[in-house]
Chains A and B, each alone.
Chain A
Amino acid sequence: MVFEQEEEPAPGAVHGHRLSTVVPSSVTGEVDYALADADLAFKLHYLRGAYYYPAGDVARGITTKVLKDPMFPWLDDYFPVAGRVRRAEEAEAEGRARRPYIKCNDCGVRIVEAKCNRDMDDWLRDGAPGRLTQLCYDKVLGPELFFSPLLYVQITNFKCGGLALGFSWAHLIGDVASAATCFNKWAQILSGKKPEVTVLTPENKPLQGQSQAGAAAPRCVKQVGPIEDLWIVPAGRDMACYSFHVTEATLKKLQQQGRHAAAAGTFELVSALLWQTVARIRGDVQAVTVVKHDAAARSGRALANEMKVGYVEASGSSPAKTDVAELAALLAKGVVDETAAVAAFPGDVLVYGGAHLTLVDMERVDVYGLEIKGQRPVHVEYGMDGVGEEGAVLVQPNADGRGRVVTAVFPKDEVQSLRAALGSALQVA
């Protein structure tokens, strides 16, 4: 947290951070929001989403106050997001940590205002790994849970007049689909539209003692901890988020390879390509964890962790040597679903990058719906913090809907080799 910049900022870095808080406009009262078991399984992960808006008339008219004013009524609907994590008074069972819940005390959402001395186009063109950390305020829950906001919104103004909005969202309050819908609703209020009613019922109820202590964690996740009050993966290697485009042409080429390819969806093809590339770099990657957004299986609650979590094992052949098309087919058909087991597991787990390389399907998430005064973002990238060393890959739609944006969250020292390996793979004409 910087209060007064005495020295010159590093050239091109984001600087001049000013923090403030936005609260719900009406008093929520003595309300507690219970966290479901599925929510608690994701507590060590943090979504980082950056939305880029080009310089122009619209961006010029956007002051911080214009962006903040709609947040007050928005938080009336999403009051759990303005709350803080507390632990229950008593433990559920012997030896277990006291169960966390959200106290909806209107503490608020943190807003960060920052500046960057570069033009937004240059910034985007560079494709520097780690740019997401600059645009999304880099904080986690803890060491004081009482005083850790669940959401940070960073507003970065570029030299050219372009604007970037960076959201740092604690995964435990909702998955990426919930987060994107939540942000879209704010934009709707900003534009003067009346958004749909936010449904926060039925109330989360913890599953009743479904697993025995001492049971092993499900295969797709890795058990860690026990985690006290600082909710971040214990220090291992430094991770970085690297975003790149997969063009429509590349996608077509992938689809034309082999007879299996036509049957598999875009997510399967792109993630299979990544699986193969990573397998080649690391020697081998026998299994992957798959996290998919399944619209049909959602309950309709505005804030929920309802992504399907499972794993895929490449039995027999090594993925480094297998065809992308075959891997894609495997991803399409061979996922072993462990969503319920992950939720029921009592210990602390790492879902993303824990046990295996994790592939995240964000195809159906409407990120480009966050229109500010009618202006759609020119680019959106979602990365993640709190990812384990195995790494994660998020496959997202791009601005025109025909290509894809892929964000790879990998250890910093692997990113260069990944970039090089992908460079040739994506160069296909």
Chain B
Amino acid sequence: MGSSAQLRRLKPLYQLVVNNILAIVAVPLAAAAVLKAAELGPGEILARLRALRPAHMFLAAFLPAAAAALYHRLRPRAVYLVDYACFRTNPNCRVPFATFLEHSRVWPGFDERSVRFMTRLLERSGLGEETCLPYAQHYIPPSRDLESSRAEAELVIFSAIDDLLAKTKMSPQDIDILVVNCSLFAPTPSFTDMIMHRYKLRKDVRNVHLAGMGCSAGLISVELARNLLQVAPWGAHALVVSTETITPNYYMGQERAMLLPNCLFRMGGAAALLSTNGANARFRLARVVRTLRGAADSAYHCVYQEEDDRGNVGINLSKDLMNIAGDALKANITAMGPLVLPASEQLLFALSFIVRKVLNNRIRPYIPDFRTAFEHFCIHAGGRAVIDELQRSLTLSDEQVEASRMTLHRFGNTSSSSLWYELAYIEAKGRMRRGDRVWMIGFGSGFKCNSAAWECIRPAVNADGPWANCIHRYPVHIPDVLKH
């Protein structure tokens, strides 16, 4: 006991030393060099310099300069987030808990068991009374036609983009790259063409629609935009739109594993503007790490769209979703860790790894403290279980997962755009400071786990955004089982 307490007191000192090792080593060396120079005296130094051959002197100057220039050319360009905007939900689309339950009960397509299952699920889901479903899903039964689906997509995407253009004071003609991700609805012409048509974008815009990439597609789009920005002219702008269209995907069958998405998925979307020009940017994109686990059978079939016995199409969520998510997360942070963790944590992790391998496998592995690498965490609000699992694995405090829990409560699972709503929560609460680092973790079908690390340059000036009229009510206490 006493030794571990002592160790804990020594830890900050240890971190200071290891994280600044270069400085700690360089300072004595520099001091030694200065002392030696002082010993020799200026005259002696000049004499030695004149003895050097000009060719050597030229090389001594040229080679380092050339190396530095080459290094700079080969480094990827820094990519910045100029700003982002989330779709603001309309109270006209609100679905209280009681209404959702009544609709499932009243429509004869769902049997007793299914309704009881959905009730139990909703009680424990962590969703609040203000989540929104699209207009077509307020009907009994919900309509899933193409026209309503397009209407929902247009409503969400256009309002998010309008918001973003107003915030950044950009004109649509300034957009050079357009990436849209919407997994479960991809009509022809694509959403990118829909946006082109509505905003009259330029003829030479590089547009890509990513379909079928699941709930983690938001960060996939960001990475794609980043890559396209490397080859576009410097200062190009990339518009990234993440959304999920719920209207066509309501499951009308009775398989319990496929009823989950009905209960959790809600309307939402976000638009973000990325650029290589950091002039007015608010965040800098530090890293994107993507982990794909689809090679394994269980991971591949974990979130699977299929038809049930009666031909109803739905998304089947397997029972070991949590385990697979946990494994994917471990793989992702193993890749992410060396890129973002300070040297002190990496050294401890390496030491613990060696010790376990060499000495005793029963010693608990050292879990790197990611709070040394990030100030804020945005965990995909896939469901209460996902957030609980991640809080446990990463040993995060309640305040650090608050953004995820509150987003799940207020907006439900908005799929790929939930990370942006969580970022908006943190900013609306005024917790973002210049220099703060944010870690976004997304999960999705595949099974994929994608992370992005951002660094804040300029926090938001006010709470304007999707949380504007309700942030004062948050955080709320979310009961384990909702009384109704």
Residues of chain A contacted by B91 (CB below 8 angstroms): 25-26, 72
Does chain A have a CB within 8 A of B138? yes
A 126-177 contacts with B by CB, 8 A = 144, 146-147
A-B contact pairs, 13 of them (CB 8 A): A20-B139, A20-B140, A21-B103, A21-B140, A25-B94, A72-B92, A105-B484, A106-B129, A107-B102, A108-B98, A144-B105, A147-B102, A147-B106
**How far is A27 from B95 in the complex, measured between Cα atoms in Å?**
10
Q: Is the CB of A20 within 8 A of B92?
A: no
Number of interface residues of B (CB under 8 A): 21
Given contacts A1-B140, A106-B129, A147-B105, contact A21 B92 (CB under 8 A): no
Q: Is the CB of B140 within 8 A of A23?
A: no
Q: Is the CB of A23 within 8 A of B106?
A: no
CB-CB nearest 9 A-B residue pairs:
A25-B91, A107-B98, A106-B96, A105-B98, A20-B139, A19-B140, A20-B138, A27-B129, A147-B102
Does chain A have a CB within 8 A of B99? yes
**How far is A69 from B138 in the complex, measured between Cα atoms in Å?**
13
**How far is A25 from B129 in the complex, measured between Cα atoms in Å?**
11
Closest to B136 in A: A20
Q: At the interface, is chain A mostly helix, strand, loop or mixed?
A: loop
**How far is A68 from B99 in the complex, measured between Cα atoms in Å?**
16
Q: Is the CB of B99 within 8 A of A107?
A: yes
Scoring B residues 88 to 128 as 1 if CB is less than 8 Å from chain A, else 0, what string do you get? Answer: 00011011111101110110000000000000000000001
Closest to A69 in B: B92
**How far is A228 from B473 in the complex, measured between Cα atoms in Å?**
41
B 407-455 contacts with A by CB, 8 A = none
B 389-415 contacts with A by CB, 8 A = none
Name 7 extra pairs, CB < 8 A, besides A1-B106, A19-B139, A106-B98. Answer: A19-B140, A68-B92, A69-B92, A84-B102, A108-B98, A108-B102, A147-B106
**How far is A420 from B94 in the complex, measured between Cα atoms in Å?**
52
Closest to A105 in B: B98
Residues of chain A contacted by B140 (CB below 8 angstroms): 1, 19-21
B466 CB to closest chain A CB, in angstroms?
A: 16
Number of interface residues of A (CB under 8 A): 22
Does chain A have a CB within 8 A of B465? no
**How far is A105 from B102 in the complex, measured between Cα atoms in Å?**
11
Scoring A residues 48 to 70 as 1 if CB is less than 8 Å from chain B, else 0, what string do you get? Answer: 00000000000000000000110
**How far is A3 from B143 in the complex, measured between Cα atoms in Å?**
10
**How far is A413 from B169 in the complex, measured between Cα atoms in Å?**
73
Does chain B have a CB within 8 A of A219? no
User: Which B residues fall within an 8 A CB radius of A?
Assistant: 91-92, 94-99, 101-103, 105-106, 128-130, 138-141, 484
Q: Is the CB of B139 within 8 A of A18?
A: yes
**How far is A68 from B139 in the complex, measured between Cα atoms in Å?**
13
Give the contacting residue for B96; candidates A19, A107, A147; CB below 8 A: A107
Closest to B484 in A: A105
A186 CB to closest chain B CB, in angstroms?
A: 15
Q: Is the CB of A105 within 8 A of B96?
A: yes
Closest to A71 in B: B92
Residues of chain A contacted by B94 (CB below 8 angstroms): 23, 25, 72
Closest to B103 in A: A21
A45 CB to closest chain B CB, in angstroms?
A: 23
Give the contacting residue for B98; candidates A18, A25, A26, A84; CB below 8 A: A84
Closest to B97 in A: A105
Residues of chain A contacted by B105 (CB below 8 angstroms): 144, 147
A 37-92 contacts with B by CB, 8 A = 68-69, 72, 84
Residues of chain B contacted by A105 (CB below 8 angstroms): 96-98, 484
**How far is A256 from B420 in the complex, measured between Cα atoms in Å?**
78
Residues of chain B contacted by A18 (CB below 8 angstroms): 139
Residues of chain B contacted by A108 (CB below 8 angstroms): 96, 98-99, 102
Residues of chain A contacted by B99 (CB below 8 angstroms): 21, 23, 106-108
Q: Is the CB of B138 within 8 A of A21?
A: yes
Closest to A73 in B: B91
Closest to A18 in B: B139
Residues of chain A contacted by B103 (CB below 8 angstroms): 21
**How far is A107 from B100 in the complex, measured between Cα atoms in Å?**
8
Q: Is the CB of B96 within 8 A of A23?
A: yes
**How far is A86 from B138 in the complex, measured between Cα atoms in Å?**
24
Residues of chain A contacted by B129 (CB below 8 angstroms): 27, 106
**How far is A107 from B140 in the complex, measured between Cα atoms in Å?**
14
Closest to B138 in A: A20
B75 CB to closest chain A CB, in angstroms?
A: 51
Give the contacting residue for B130; candidates A3, A27, A84; CB below 8 A: A27
Residues of chain A contacted by B92 (CB below 8 angstroms): 25, 68-69, 72
Closest to B473 in A: A27
B48 CB to closest chain A CB, in angstroms?
A: 81
A25 CB to closest chain B CB, in angstroms?
A: 4
Residues of chain B contacted by A21 (CB below 8 angstroms): 99, 102-103, 138, 140
Q: Is the CB of A27 within 8 A of B98?
A: no
Residues of chain A contacted by B98 (CB below 8 angstroms): 84, 105-108
**How far is A325 from B141 in the complex, measured between Cα atoms in Å?**
55
B134 CB to closest chain A CB, in angstroms?
A: 12
**How far is A423 from B179 in the complex, measured between Cα atoms in Å?**
74
**How far is A324 from B96 in the complex, measured between Cα atoms in Å?**
55
Name which of B98, B101, B141 has the most chain A CB atoms within 10 A of its CB.
B98
B135 CB to closest chain A CB, in angstroms?
A: 8
Closest to A106 in B: B96
**How far is A22 from B102 in the complex, measured between Cα atoms in Å?**
12
